[in-house]
Amino acid sequence: MARILVTGGLGFIGSHTVVELINAGHEPIIVDNLSNANVDVLNGIEAITGKRPLFEKVDLKIKEEVEQLFNRHTDLDGIIHFAAYKAVGESVAKPLEYYENNLGSLVYLLQNLRDHGLDNFIFSSSCTVYGEAEELPITENSPVQPAMSPYGNTKQIGEEVIKDAIAAHQFNAISLRYFNPIGAHPSAEIGESPLGVPLNLVPYVTQTAAGVREQLSVFGNDYDTRDGTNERDYIHVVDIAKAHVIAVERLVNRKNLDKYEYFNLGTGTGSTVLEVIQSFERVSNSKLNYKIVARRSGDVTAAYADTTKANQILGWKAEKNLDDAMADAWRWEKKIRNLD
Ligand code: UFG
């Protein structure tokens, strides 16, 4: 049993990871400032696991709050750091808020790790660090490309901050570079709850089907892919969550080969936007209202993971496919809209 601090633990990936930590016999402590999450998520976690984890409402961009947090919890075995702003477009409009929030919190966390002699840090990174990769599928050796948004830059700089901190101080870390996490817990007790109009494809699809949005816009069908729409590696959030448990156990048990390791988290299979829609229509047995519109700026043509490193070294593999994820996303959407 390990005591693991989970920042952003009420968010989409964070809450699913808390569930998997509890399922694996660990004791997560949730930290969240509720800026993009609801405290009711605790009820969902409790409904699934039968346990209600400790919740600390802390704003990690306030240094004193972070220090007080670590003074209250001196016996942590590891930290999984999800808490961050994550909207690409918003980051272009509010770069300074993104750098302050995403990097300030990271620096304060690492300072406290150092000062309290703590170790074992998992960082929530993104395939966005690879930009428009020259070779597909994308391995961890693909070069990190200039970031296309301040959000993406906070992930790149975050990885660099950790690398430099590890070179100077005594701790170990793993960065997990997610492709496109989607879906919800199969129980429909927790899922994704974007504020306002969704920016990501899958919540837009399910909200359109639920009648909350009128029509999905498909951003471009003139890309160099099999049907002209962008190709992505959509991965079920429960698979992503399980990878975090394996990663933190790897550090706690000192199984890591380097003080800082990086892994891609994807399925290894790319799906186009139209294939996502087809999957949704299949599992929901309904037709989705969509139209093709102009490209969205900043979208890369295709991105999907080479998962060999995570498969072989972490011993982790995505178990769920696109249909599973779309079915779970739809079950969650129907539950929160009181449909059925
Ligand atoms: N899309 C639509 N219509 C929508 C929303 C999305 O057609 O209403 C398309 C996009 O053009 C893209 C695909 O669906 O081709 C997926 O878009 P998402 O916004 O769901 O996901 P992205 O691949 O753009 O975003 C991911 C991560 C981000 C990361 C970004 C970098 O979610 O964290 O990749 O490109 F920054």
- Residue 269 near residue 44 (C-beta atoms within 8 A): no
Q: Is 296 in the pocket of ligand 1 (CB under 6 A)?
A: yes
Full residue range of the structural domain in which residue 218 is found: 201-231+268-334
CATH label of the domain that carries residue 208: 3.90.25.10
Question: Ligand 1 pocket check: which of 82, 148, 155, 230 to mutate, most ligand atoms within 8 Å of Cβ?
Answer: 230
Q: Is residue 32 part of a domain?
A: yes
Looking at residues 34-59, what average pLDDT do you find?
A: 97
Residues 297 and 322 in one domain: yes
> Interior CA angle at 126 toward 305 and 315, to 5°?
50
What distance in angstroms lies between residue 72's CA and the mean position of ligand 1's atoms? Answer: 39
**CA-based R_g, the chain, Å:** 19
The domain total for the chain is: 2
The pLDDT-based confidence of 12 (bands split at 50, 70, 90) is: very high
- Measuring from atom 32 of ligand 1, which residue has the nearest CA? 180
Residue 141 has a pLDDT of: 96
What distance in angstroms lies between residue 200's CA and the mean position of ligand 1's atoms? Answer: 5
- Domain final residue pick, 247, 265, 283: 265
Q: Is residue 192 part of a domain?
A: no
- Residue 195 pLDDT more than 90? no
Residues 218 and 88 in one domain: no
Atom number in ligand 1 closest to CA 303? 23
- Residue 340 near residue 284 (C-beta atoms within 8 A): no
Atom number in ligand 1 closest to CA 198? 8
Residues 62 and 210 in one domain: no
**Under 8 Å CB-to-CB from 92, ≥6 apart: which residues?**
149, 150
Q: Is 128 in the pocket of ligand 1 (CB under 6 A)?
A: yes
Residues 72 and 154 in one domain: yes
Instruction: With CA atoms as reference, report the closest residue to 149 among 307, 330, 297, 31.
Output: 297
What distance in angstroms lies between residue 66's CA and the mean position of ligand 1's atoms? Answer: 32
What distance in angstroms lies between residue 313's CA and the mean position of ligand 1's atoms? Answer: 28
117: left (phi over 0), alpha (psi -120 to 50) or beta: left
pLDDT tens digits for 111-164? Answer: 999 999 999 999 999 999 998 899 999 999 999 999 999 999 999 999 999 999
- Residue 340 pLDDT more than 90? no
Q: Is residue 195 part of a domain?
A: no
Catalytic residues: 151
DSSP notation for 257-295: SSSEEEEEES-S--EEHHHHHHHHHHHHTS---EEEEPP
Instruction: With CA atoms as reference, report the closest residue to 16 among 193, 159, 177, 172.
Output: 193
Residues 20 and 89 in one domain: yes
- Measuring from atom 27 of ligand 1, which residue has the nearest CA? 180
More confident site: 54 or 193: 54
Atom number in ligand 1 closest to CA 182? 20
Residues 136 and 224 in one domain: no
Looking at residues 313-333, what average pLDDT do you find?
A: 98
Q: Which residues pair with 122 in a beta bridge?
A: 80, 174
The model's pTM = 0.98
What distance in angstroms lies between residue 199's CA and the mean position of ligand 1's atoms? Answer: 7
- Measuring from atom 21 of ligand 1, which residue has the nearest CA? 200
- Residue 276 pLDDT more than 90? yes
Instruction: With CA atoms as reference, report the closest residue to 21 among 109, 125, 122, 118.
Output: 122
Q: Is residue 308 part of a domain?
A: yes
The pLDDT-based confidence of 279 (bands split at 50, 70, 90) is: very high
57 membership: H or E segment, kind and range? strand 54-57
CA-CA distance, 162 to 107, in Å (whole number)?
9
Q: Is residue 194 part of a domain?
A: no
What distance in angstroms lies between residue 288's CA and the mean position of ligand 1's atoms? Answer: 18
Please state, rounded to an integer, the average pLDDT across all residues of the chain.
97
CATH label of the domain that carries residue 172: 3.40.50.720
Residues 261 and 272 in one domain: no
Q: Is residue 196 part of a domain?
A: no
Residues 251 and 313 in one domain: no
Residues 133 and 153 in one domain: yes
Q: Is residue 60 part of a domain?
A: yes
Residues 244 and 298 in one domain: no
Residue 22 has a pLDDT of: 98
Q: Is 292 in the pocket of ligand 1 (CB under 6 A)?
A: no
The pLDDT-based confidence of 202 (bands split at 50, 70, 90) is: very high
Atom number in ligand 1 closest to CA 202? 20
Residues 274 and 175 in one domain: no
- Residue 252 pLDDT more than 90? yes
Residue 268 has a pLDDT of: 98
Residues 208 and 251 in one domain: no
The pLDDT-based confidence of 309 (bands split at 50, 70, 90) is: very high
Q: Is residue 227 part of a domain?
A: yes
Q: Is 180 in the pocket of ligand 1 (CB under 6 A)?
A: yes
- Residue 244 pLDDT more than 90? yes
- Measuring from atom 34 of ligand 1, which residue has the nearest CA? 128
- Domain final residue pick, 213, 248, 265: 265
- Residue 281 pLDDT more than 90? yes
